[in-house]
Amino acid sequence: MKQSSSVADLTDELRKEVNRYSPGGKLPSSRALVERFRVSPVTVSRALAQLAAEGLVVTRPGAGAYRARPRTPLAATGDTSWQEVALSADGAADLVPRTVDASGVTVCLAAPPPGVIEFSGGYPHPSLQPEKAMAAALSRAGRRPGAWGRPPLDGLPELREWFARGIGDTVTAADVLITSGGQSALTTALRALAPPGAPVLVESPTYPGMLAIARAAGLRPVPVPVDRDGVRPDLLADAFRATGARVFVCQPLFQNPTGAVLAADRRPEVLRIAREAGAFVVEDDFVRRLPHEDSGPLPRPLAAEDPDGVVVHVCSLTKATSPSFRVGALAARGPVLERLRAIQIVDTFFVPRPLQEAALELVGSPAWPRHQRTLSTELRARRDAMTAGLALRLPELALPHIPSGGYHLWLRLPDGLDEPALQSAALRAGVAFTPGRPYFSAEPTAAHIRLSFAAVSGTEEIAEGLRRLRAACDEALGGPVPQFVRHTPAVL
């Protein structure tokens, strides 16, 4: 973290000085910058690389760095309005028009403006990521024999075996494909299991990224309600009968956004209902590695209780590591595995071998169990801080379920408090959250918001974020307008 800060500081200093040089003028040598700013040669190299990426300087190996010359203005752009007709005509014959809408996902991926507290994040804060362990793993992986060669198309056998052990005794390495994270695996699964125009049953509410995948593939998401014990089997059976669907996508463990865990008595019912309908269950086991310290023993994945190949299992290392550590797995049995494999090969060829090797190094190191224990403890502390703060500052926001895993809370807004109005007021107050509407494939039952407690720096920032959210609620309900200076730090 200190090194990253040094790079940013030096970059800022050099950015201010670049204009002192004429276009094409040579900047001081790296050695001179090291001596002047008392930083390492690596820090200088990274700062110059950042300025080069911004187009401010040009680096020439063996010669040094020079101020970039002004770019030649681009010619006037042509008329692209014809594309509206072409793109519309492309899906004119589709039974269900494809809709490529990333807005529900972008809100969890995009960084908020400076100074805005991030209750909207979908990944752990950098302080919760095993940065040193990942860096060491990547360094060791890069030195492995053959690390930069072509990997097996299904993934490294040792990594497939590791994922198989985590799913259950009934799953072997031969049942596993290594994927580029969970989102890629879900995309492959839906493309393999449902033709364009087909219905696909989804939990309601559910993960917006999965809804975006389905709609982009021309599928028709059909909602099946979820309560605090997971999906309701009676309504699932009704939905299969009414639609003739052959796919049901669910998150049985710490469901996004409700945090629900599929109850023990419902688990065999879900498998039985899907089997009788001749349908697949896509199990998105996305946060199995994010239990809280008080979670107790976790239920096994549905795939571990499925002898008939009903379940296509999706899991990933990404949530427990870093947004950029995109290594996941698909597990399935029977002929469907070959279809999944073929689609993945056509789409991506394979997951880069250095990343697979780094994953093996990471999960096999002593740092991995230590990181998991630390993450479990910290997530519980943050969850408790947020739930206590909500009870104190925002008691009108209903919290029907406190999860024992995952990274967020799902809250129902009181009548009269509008999601868009609250979201706008919150940004003005300096806090970002995820609105509930994108989590519903049809009309929502009520107004909701999702608050992430993992993407912030700690409990102090949670307390400040809730204070700002209180001010935003007051404004949205007609109270005083909260004041927020965008350049203030996130934790006051």
Highest mean pLDDT, choosing among 102-106, 185-189, 442-446: 185-189
What phi and psi, each to the nearest 5 degrees, are found at residue 191? -65, -35
The whole-number pLDDT of residue 126 equals 93
Confidence of residue 1 (pLDDT cuts 50, 70, 90): very low
Q: How large is the average pLDDT for residues 275-289?
A: 95
User: What pTM does this model have?
Assistant: 0.81
Segments of the chain assigned to CATH 3.40.640.10: 130-363
Centre a 10 Å sphere on the Cβ of residue 172 and count the other Cβ atoms it contains: 14
CA dist 310 and 274 (Å) reads 7
The CATH fold assigned to 2-67 is Arc Repressor Mutant, subunit A (1.10.10)
215 DSSP assignment = H
Tokens of 291: 């239990």
Is residue 429 over pLDDT 80? yes
The whole-number pLDDT of residue 167 equals 94
pLDDT digits (tens, 9 = 90+) for 233-277: 999 999 999 999 999 999 999 999 999 999 999 999 999 999 999
Q: How large is the average pLDDT for residues 460-486?
A: 80
Segments of the chain assigned to CATH 1.10.10.10: 2-67
Q: How large is the average pLDDT for residues 411-420?
A: 92
Q: Which helix (H) or strand (E) holds 434?
A: strand 434-435
Segments of the chain assigned to CATH 3.90.1150.10: 103-127+369-476
Rg of the chain, C-alpha, whole Å:
25
Do residues 241 and 261 make contact, with C-beta atoms less than 8 angstroms apart? no
| Domain 103-127+369-476 coded CATH 3.90.1150.10 | yes
Confidence of residue 90 (pLDDT cuts 50, 70, 90): low
In 310-422, at which residue ranges do the beta strands (DSSP E only) sit? 311-316, 328-331, 408-412
pLDDT digits (tens, 9 = 90+) for 2-59: 444 688 888 888 988 888 888 888 888 888 888 988 888 888 888 888 888 888 888 8
Amino acid identity, residue 96? V
The whole-number pLDDT of residue 487 equals 34
The whole-number pLDDT of residue 107 equals 67
pLDDT digits (tens, 9 = 90+) for 330-361: 999 999 999 999 999 998 899 999 999 999 99
pLDDT digits (tens, 9 = 90+) for 166-183: 999 889 999 999 999 999
What lies within 8 Å, CB to CB, of 66 at 6+ separation is 21, 24, 25, 26, 27, 57, 58, 59, 60
> Over 451-465, what HEC string results?
EECCCCCCHHHHHHH
Tokens of 338: 């070959």
Do residues 216 and 172 make contact, with C-beta atoms less than 8 angstroms apart? no
Name beta bridge partners: 398: 412
Question: Residue 199's Cα: distance from chain center in Å?
Answer: 25
Is residue 489 over pLDDT 50? no
The CATH fold assigned to 130-363 is Aspartate Aminotransferase; domain 2 (3.40.640)
Cα–Cα distances (Å) from 46 to 42, 298, 394, in that order, read: 6, 43, 45
CA dist 222 and 219 (Å) reads 10
- CA-closest candidate to residue 309, choices 464, 442, 193, 466: 193
Is residue 483 over pLDDT 60? no
CA dist 213 and 217 (Å) reads 6
pLDDT digits (tens, 9 = 90+) for 52-87: 888 888 888 777 888 888 776 655 667 767 766 666
CA dist 342 and 306 (Å) reads 23
Do residues 440 and 204 make contact, with C-beta atoms less than 8 angstroms apart? yes
CA dist 58 and 56 (Å) reads 7
Is residue 132 over pLDDT 50? yes
The whole-number pLDDT of residue 111 equals 76
Confidence of residue 282 (pLDDT cuts 50, 70, 90): very high
Is residue 108 over pLDDT 70? no
DSSP-derived 3-state class of residue 408: strand
pLDDT digits (tens, 9 = 90+) for 296-326: 999 999 999 998 899 999 999 999 999 999 9
CA dist 337 and 169 (Å) reads 18
DSSP-derived 3-state class of residue 212: helix
Confidence of residue 492 (pLDDT cuts 50, 70, 90): very low
Intra-chain end-to-end CA distance of the chain, in Å: 21
- CA-closest candidate to residue 91, choices 221, 218, 220: 218
- CA-closest candidate to residue 91, choices 199, 221, 211, 196: 196
Tokens of 176: 């596993």
> What DSSP letter does each residue of 313-367 carry, written as one string?
EEEESGGGS-TT---EEEE--SHHHHHHHHHHHHHHS---HHHHHHHHHHHTSTH
Mean pLDDT of the chain: 88
CA dist 399 and 183 (Å) reads 28
CA dist 22 and 101 (Å) reads 45
Highest mean pLDDT, choosing among 98-102, 145-149, 238-242, 474-478: 238-242
- CA-closest candidate to residue 294, choices 385, 378, 229, 363: 378
What phi and psi, each to the nearest 5 degrees, are found at residue 94? -70, 140
Burial class (CB in 10 A: 0-12, 13-18, 19+), 382: buried
Provide, rounded to the nearest whole percent, the portion of the chain with pLDDT above 90.
Answer: 65
In terms of phi and psi (left: phi > 0; alpha: psi -120 to 50; beta: otherwise), the region of 295 is alpha
The whole-number pLDDT of residue 57 equals 87
Instruction: Please tell me the total number of residues recorded for the chain in this structure.
Output: 492
The whole-number pLDDT of residue 491 equals 32
